[in-house]
């Protein structure tokens, strides 16, 4: 099989040209110095950019703050208009919450406990999660950048435990692989106890439907009882921390502009490549976990089972490459990925886990283009 040369040639232009492919360019924040209600601001952002700003983690928060000199208050794309429908999140940004009833202590209740923070009990036989009130003082489990778990034998409430782990380690233990894993069991050594896990739930949602779990509430100002203050804002003169207010209030606001676009049309891999290069910039490449998380949120909206990426196998040379000419260093293959595959291209699973897999390039899927 002859390798389509044009793919390489076009890729070369990309190196010489102004390929903008750092995390910073996945999306940009725009501070809008006009006074609008939250809904007016949402309409404005959707018309001129992508949507009201969403925030993935602390680095995003820093970028958001750096995008203006203003020191006032500004709307962000988070609101509580869900009628109190609370959903669970893992504390660590990017770990998707997937309900698994067998991890929860339901005790015959339909809901996994009344509280909004997740603890795990270790008692003979009982090794389950439950939702309990966040203000209980409890021991807790942090994990570090080597993914090692640490049991901290200090009694504090959930919010403080989260701060403790984020400051001294990475975060509270997040994801069922950590929470139900073998390493967790060894920490307890048969001692009965209850400990905080990185689980919380709330009824706040992002304007664009993402389920980013990052929250940055200013605990001195934020009161979860003020139920008519259902729109969130950032207080730029308080380190950007968040508070909430009545949505009719007029405020400045932040929009975000997405540099990636999901095309909900089914095309073969090569058609998709040409479509992106003609109309935008290129098929998307994923070179780090931040990009993976950002794209994961996008592919949830796709209506094909896979979504094409700019990932291609060269039969002649025998390796996978990104059509943007970036090296395939970060990888997220499913179990049978990475093997050779002439006439194969890489696609992301739009269902659970969002792993990459090789697919025959004449299959028809949705795809993601980068805009610049």
Residues that bind ligand NAG (CB under 6 A): 59, 62-63, 66, 72-73, 80, 83-85, 87, 100, 102-103, 134-135, 157, 159-160, 163-164, 167-168, 180, 203, 219, 224-230, 237-238, 244, 246, 264-266, 303-305
Q: Which is it for strands 242-245 and 51-52: parallel, antiparallel or unpaired?
A: unpaired
Q: Which is nearer to ligand NAG, 225 or 336 (CB)?
A: 225
Nearer to ligand NAG, 202 or 325 (CB): 202
- Shortest approach of ligand NAG to residue 139 CB, angstroms? 14
**CB nearer ligand NAG, residue 252 or residue 312:** 252
- As measured in angstroms, the least distance from the Cβ of 325 to ligand NAG is 26
**What's the CA dihedral at 53, 55, 59, 61 to 10 degrees?**
60
Report the alpha-carbon distance of residue 146 to residue 3 in Å, rounded.
41
Comparison of 34 and 224: residue with beta carbon closer to ligand NAG: 224
**Least CB distance to ligand NAG at residue 3 (A):** 27
Smaller CB separation from ligand NAG, 167 or 189: 167
CB 207 to ligand NAG: min, Å: 13
Shortest distance, CB of residue 144 to ligand NAG, whole angstroms? 12
Q: Which of 372, 219, 217, 367 is nearest to 301 (CA)?
A: 367
> Using H for helix, E for strand and C for coil, what is the string for the chain?
CCCCHHHHHHHHHHHHCCCCCCHHHCEEEEEEEEEECHHHHHHHHHHHCCEECCCCCHHHHHHHHHCCCCCCEEEEEEECCCCCCCEEEECCCCCCCCCCHHHECCCCCCCCCCCCEEEEEECCCCCCEEEECCCCCEEEEEECCCCCEEEEEEEECHHHHHHHHHHHCCEECCCHHHHCCHHHHHHHCCCCEEEEEEEEEECCEECCCCCCCCCCECCCCCCCCCCCCCEEEEECCCCCCEEEECCCCCEEEEEEEECEEEEEEEECHHHHHHHHHHHCCEECCCCCHHHHHHHHHHHCCCCCCEEEEEEEEECCCCEEEECCCCCCCCCCECCCCCCCCCCEEEEEECCCCCCEEEEECCCCEEEEEECC
CB closest to ligand NAG, residue no = 135
**Least gap, CB of 330 to ligand NAG (angstroms):** 20
Q: How far is the CB of 159 from ligand NAG (least distance, A)?
A: 5
CB of 65 to ligand NAG, least distance (A): 7
Question: Considering the complex, what minimum distance in angstroms separates the CB of residue 311 from ligand NAG?
Answer: 18
Is 144 or 224 the residue whose CB approaches ligand NAG more closely? Answer: 224
Nearer to ligand NAG, 42 or 243 (CB): 243
Of 14 and 347, nearer to ligand NAG (C-beta) is 347
**Contact by Cβ (8 Å): 309, 283:** yes
Closer to ligand NAG by Cβ: residue 6 or 264: 264
């Amino acid at each position: 099989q002859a390798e389509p040369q044009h793919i390489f040639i076009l890729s070369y232009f990309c190196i010489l040209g102004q390929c903008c492919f750092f995390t910073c360019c996945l999306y940009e924040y725009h501070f809008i110095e006009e006074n609008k209600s939250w809904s007016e601001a949402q309409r404005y952002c959707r018309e001129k950019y992508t949507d009201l700003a969403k925030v993935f983690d602390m680095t995003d928060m820093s970028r958001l703050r750096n995008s203006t000199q203003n020191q006032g208050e500004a709307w962000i794309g988070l609101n509580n208009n869900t009628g109190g429908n609370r959903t669970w999140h893992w504390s660590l940004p990017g770990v998707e919450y997937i309900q698994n009833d067998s991890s929860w202590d339901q005790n015959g209740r339909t809901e996994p406990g009344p509280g909004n923070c997740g603890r795990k009990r270790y008692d003979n036989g009982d090794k389950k999660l439950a939702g309990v009130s966040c203000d209980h003082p409890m021991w807790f489990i942090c994990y570090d950048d080597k993914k090692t778990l640490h049991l901290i034998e200090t009694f504090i409430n959930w919010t403080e435990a989260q701060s403790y782990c984020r400051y001294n380690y990475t975060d509270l233990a997040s994801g069922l692989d950590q929470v139900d894993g073998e390493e967790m069991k060894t920490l307890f050594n048969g001692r009965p106890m209850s400990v905080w896990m990185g689980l919380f739930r709330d009824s706040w949602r992002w304007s664009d439907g993402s389920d980013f779990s990052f929250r940055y509430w200013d605990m001195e100002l934020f009161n979860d009882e003020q139920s008519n203050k259902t729109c969130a804002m950032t207080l730029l003169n308080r380190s950007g921390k968040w508070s909430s207010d009545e949505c009719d209030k007029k405020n400045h606001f932040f929009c975000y502009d997405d540099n990636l676009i999901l095309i909900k049309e089914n095309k073969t891999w090569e058609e998709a490549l040409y479509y992106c290069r003609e109309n935008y910039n290129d098929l998307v490449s994923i070179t780090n976990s931040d990009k993976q998380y950002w794209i994961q949120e996008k592919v949830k909206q796709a209506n094909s089972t896979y979504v094409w990426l700019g990932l291609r196998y060269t039969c002649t040379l025998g390796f996978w490459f990104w059509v943007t000419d970036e090296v395939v260093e970060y990888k997220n293959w499913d179990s049978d990925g990475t093997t050779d595959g002439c006439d194969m291209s890489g696609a992301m699973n739009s269902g659970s886990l969002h792993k990459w897999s090789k697919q025959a390039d004449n299959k028809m899927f949705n795809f993601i283009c980068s805009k610049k």
